[in-house]
Amino acid sequence: MPRIITQTLTALATLVVASASVPADFLGTALAAGTDGKLIAAKSKKKNKSDGDASKGGSKPGGVLDVTDKTFSKEVLKSSKPVLVDFWAPWCGPCRIQGPIVEETAAELGGKMKFVKLDTQTNPEVASKYGITGIPAIYVFKKGRVVEQVVGLRPKEELLELVKKHI
């Protein structure tokens, strides 16, 4: 198949996933096309509302911490560890797939890097400051500075590589 047709089909599949609610197979696995056109699947996990909420004082070891405009500086910019920030929004289908992938990555490597997520819809100040125009967006901070950023749905293997570069 000519390359242009493959690229067009991949782009259309990504648009369909982004504009619809997250499709799921009969086992409840969320599905989406990754940036390379491959299918990405992630089980969604139910999470206790207090887990990872910075306003409530923390997260589980190896978990993902919710940060806000008010807590971002303390939890990210002043962190002694490198920090992976997942910029997301609840209406974003690919973000709802990326979230569990970030959680799995944090569970594997959380002791070496801090993992946080920021809802761009309810925390527009930080999103604006860092020029977040596309989500999901993954930024890595070291000593208060952005050292890497990627936009779009990423598979777990790619996130693991990204994290390992900065720990």
Residue of 67, 76, 85, 92 marked catalytic: 92
Task: Spot the catalytic one: 32, 95, 140, 153.
Answer: 95
Cis before 136? omega within 30: yes
Helices then strands, counting H and E runs in the chain, come out as 5, 7
22-29: Cβ within 8 A, 24+ apart:
22/93, 22/96, 22/97
Is 92 tagged catalytic? yes
Mark whether 65 is an active-site residue: no
Which residues are catalytic, by number?
92, 95
